[in-house]
Structure 1
């Protein structure tokens, strides 16, 4: 027990530097004795397993992960994303290896909390040194919280394993508190075994979760029923996808459809699309939006703007620059304008990407030779585009102005797209068997109509045609939200898409008229082995042969 307490304290200290909704710190003056007799330690341990949850705005190079896919190109050549762009991720260098460590830290923290309160120990601590008559209301609230937090610890384990198998395939399943070295001595379970473990954790504990935190504002940031069902939906969608379902087993697609339908049909949870796609990602909007299922918040900052404002904006570094590969996919909702290729397009383009001629940071972006944002300038966008989604316009970086940035891990639009994809594969685009809330086409249309009711009609002539419509919609609706790379992998499309060059536009100007030509910006390399990330060599060596490396590394 003493050994486990030391491990848990060290873990919580290591995670307390990340500001979130929850206080993940622990009093450094506590001893083993006071720790075991202070009910406040229950809440500290119940918070600790949230700290490693992925904050996508700092995924790689202190920025979002989009440049690892065909969505974007990093302006700086000195970036870790190059290991993904050139297929160079290996057993010694994996820029996402920190997340592997974080996931197992989260799992270990969840396991420790569950051990700490097991067998009535948690309830006994809540009763200790307390008048259960005069303090009855607070005691009742604490008991309710304890029950919720136990369920949340199980959902946390499901979440972390979902992230691990997305990156690495089947992983060791650990359900006891142990040191990291002990954990490395456990062999890997198969991908399907991990999926079943995740689903069992969620199905067993989902009904013991809070439905929302409307009456407990201090609990915001904790898992709810909606979050648990969203994790299940994503996991089963991935499990049904070609990478993990090479035979096209329709039972897996039906199971994924059922999981998304379970979310959409559940009368205990209430979500809907936000009225504004553009505003949803700005500032604090997502905190109270009915679209948000689960998000991660940090203290207000300007690091995202520093990383991605145009280099010509004081304090900006250009950073993640959207590609023509992405921009070209935004559909026209009117006649094309020969003098302005960005006019009359899906409004999500203007909400997500800064193009030439955009009003941004208090000025008009002008990228032709000799102009303020000349693409020939050092560290200017190599693609002719800058990131807009998630960023607050016009922050004064020199004076340290900041804004809120909430990383939305799960939102309602994703569930609709999960549903559309799985329903199409299981039943076709137009069919909705009894018990299902809508057809695949209806779910997709909801997402498109929120963007614009003027978007072209979707092809529902076949499963294959609608499959392409779903892939397109995920590319647009979920742009830059850390879906594209993993979608390409699970669809088995990465060998095709991620071996193509990323493109941009070369911008010129004659008089007052701009002209645009599409150019290759950078080559990309993706090998078959890259469908899974490698475990670091040190992990394999420290396991004494227990862990097997992913193939071809």
Structure 2
């Protein structure tokens, strides 16, 4: 692994705190002109280092091709003919070609920054810096606040390490565990996947009592890890560790542990998460920041990037971008009878909240993708699937006059926790059991909470067999978490990718049949290839070579 001094790393990105003003940003930049003397004696440097380990936190809106990762799955097709998504779609990523390889470097940089902060403040040095050059008696309130901040920041550094390792093992399986700031001249072998899982759990369990429950009294800290965020990281990691890819013998103890981790969030006396009332509105603007559903959100400045990349090409300034597939549209359930004249009517309302369909209103017009229509699919760079992205986007944003909107990436939310719990409980105990610990929620009840929020009219899940109930959980994750960077990793951990990601993605051809009436012909849009080796990503060849092959490559690369 390459060693880079964090003093020479340009931490230039920022996490957004509440609001949109520059003063509301969590500043994660470092003073590039800091000298050894100022580093030792400036209290502000202490806080800079306490912010720096947030810089590489993933912002899902720019994960692949500067857009959502959904185009690497059966959720969406990238409109651009030449795109990084193509490498995933064709199964050709390798040690020399992996569009996500930068994340490996970024996440280890985050780990090094966390390690540095923990080393920098160890042995009472942090407390000394908080107290130096101030009257700790007359300035008692501010002094005590800074001491509390130091304790929180140190706990958050442990959570940061857990977060980055969670993202790394999701991609690579086992990775090196590094607990020092510098790695110059030293090469670390890969730890086993299960060893990294236990390390992640230890980082969170060892600090959870020191974490802030929320930042309601410290609005300038919004964007930092909290107790809920830490527990959500652990719950997801343990769910992945219990899944078939990592639990081929289906050890029930792993599922029990995953269920317990999710239930810790659900039942924690200091946490009070609940589902937002309106699914579609939740993802708009700053709504997620004030919602009791949000556990951890990554914030950036207002921009029009998501709209510019994903608005229909017929909208001035739009580029079509990540377009949903018929594969996903077909998965939205009917509520009541099908409408022969409108295949999108009487469907799970999450369809209308997430996807722009033909005949719907969007950007101030009725979408018409038929020949000669406003969104004619034959136009260059028009959607090849017959659909456009709606989730996350602000309707009718004026791109020609520089209008901007807020886009907060919700990395962890309560609906996912409920679905994690439903899955783990079903695998450990079945759909309707409460487990030997007598939990207050069954798998079915947790699943139903998510479905009821979407619509009280959704068909009841009646499966009593765990295998059949598993299908219902998989379906619900596909719909509820669409475009939120779960689908690819879910397919991998379930060992479903070989089946699902080797099927073509489909779309519709739209034909006008009358005034506000169309017919639809389903057709294949693009092929997909997924190889057995793709269940794990390759380390870059340079990482393997620079480590003198201490870093062992994943099989097949």
Instruction: Give the alignment's TM-score, normalised by structure 2.
Output: 0.97
- Tell me, yes or no, if the aligned pair for 2:95 and 2:540 is still in contact at 8 Å: yes
Residue of 479, 485, 488 corresponding to 2:491: 488
- Tell me, yes or no, if the aligned pair for 1:261 and 1:437 is still in contact at 8 Å: no
Shift of 1:39: 1.2
Aligned position for 1:395: 397
Q: Does 1:200 align with 2:202?
A: yes
Q: Does 1:498 align with 2:496?
A: no
Residue of 527, 531, 534 corresponding to 2:531: 527
- Tell me, yes or no, if the aligned pair for 1:63 and 1:304 is still in contact at 8 Å: yes
- CA RMSD in angstroms, aligned pairs only: 1.1
Aligned position for 1:453: 456
- Tell me, yes or no, if the aligned pair for 2:166 and 2:237 is still in contact at 8 Å: yes
Residue of 509, 512, 519 corresponding to 1:509: 512
Aligned position for 2:12: 16
Aligned position for 2:20: none
Aligned-partner Cα distance in 2 for 1:123–1:132:
12
What do residues 199-224 of structure 1 show as CA deviations (whole Å, max 9, x unaligned)?
Answer: 01111111110011010101001111
Aligned-partner Cα distance in 2 for 1:531–1:27:
40
Aligned-partner Cα distance in 2 for 1:174–1:342:
51
Aligned-partner Cα distance in 2 for 1:19–1:160:
16
Aligned-partner Cα distance in 2 for 1:52–1:310:
31
- Tell me, yes or no, if the aligned pair for 1:250 and 1:425 is still in contact at 8 Å: yes
Residue of 61, 66, 85 corresponding to 1:62: 66
Moved more, 468-477 or 507-516: 507-516
Aligned pair count reads 545
Give unpaired runs (5+ residues) of structure 2.
Answer: 18-25
Residue of 398, 406, 409 corresponding to 1:407: 409
Aligned-partner Cα distance in 2 for 1:474–1:286:
19
What do residues 280-314 of structure 1 show as CA deviations (whole Å, max 9, x unaligned)?
Answer: 00000001100000000000000000000000000
SS in 2 for 1:503: strand
Shift of 1:377: 0.9
Give unpaired runs (5+ residues) of structure 1.
Answer: none
- Tell me, yes or no, if the aligned pair for 2:6 and 2:109 is still in contact at 8 Å: no
What do residues 433-454 of structure 1 show as CA deviations (whole Å, max 9, x unaligned)?
Answer: 3341200000000000000010
Q: Does 1:138 align with 2:134?
A: no
- Tell me, yes or no, if the aligned pair for 1:240 and 1:249 is still in contact at 8 Å: yes
Residue of 20, 35, 41 corresponding to 2:45: 41
What do residues 441-485 of structure 1 show as CA deviations (whole Å, max 9, x unaligned)?
Answer: 000000000000100011322001100000000000000000000
Rate the CA distance shift 1:107–1:291 in 2: closer, same or farther, 3 A: same
Shift of 1:182: 4.5
- Tell me, yes or no, if the aligned pair for 2:369 and 2:376 is still in contact at 8 Å: yes
- Tell me, yes or no, if the aligned pair for 2:355 and 2:389 is still in contact at 8 Å: yes
What do residues 217-253 of structure 1 show as CA deviations (whole Å, max 9, x unaligned)?
Answer: 0100111110000001000000000000001111101
Aligned position for 2:23: none
Aligned-partner Cα distance in 1 for 2:14–2:477:
30
Aligned-partner Cα distance in 2 for 1:515–1:175:
60
- Tell me, yes or no, if the aligned pair for 1:430 and 1:460 is still in contact at 8 Å: no
Aligned-partner Cα distance in 1 for 2:396–2:452:
29
- Tell me, yes or no, if the aligned pair for 1:459 and 1:465 is still in contact at 8 Å: no
Aligned position for 1:127: 131
- Tell me, yes or no, if the aligned pair for 2:325 and 2:505 is still in contact at 8 Å: yes
Aligned-partner Cα distance in 1 for 2:32–2:103:
26
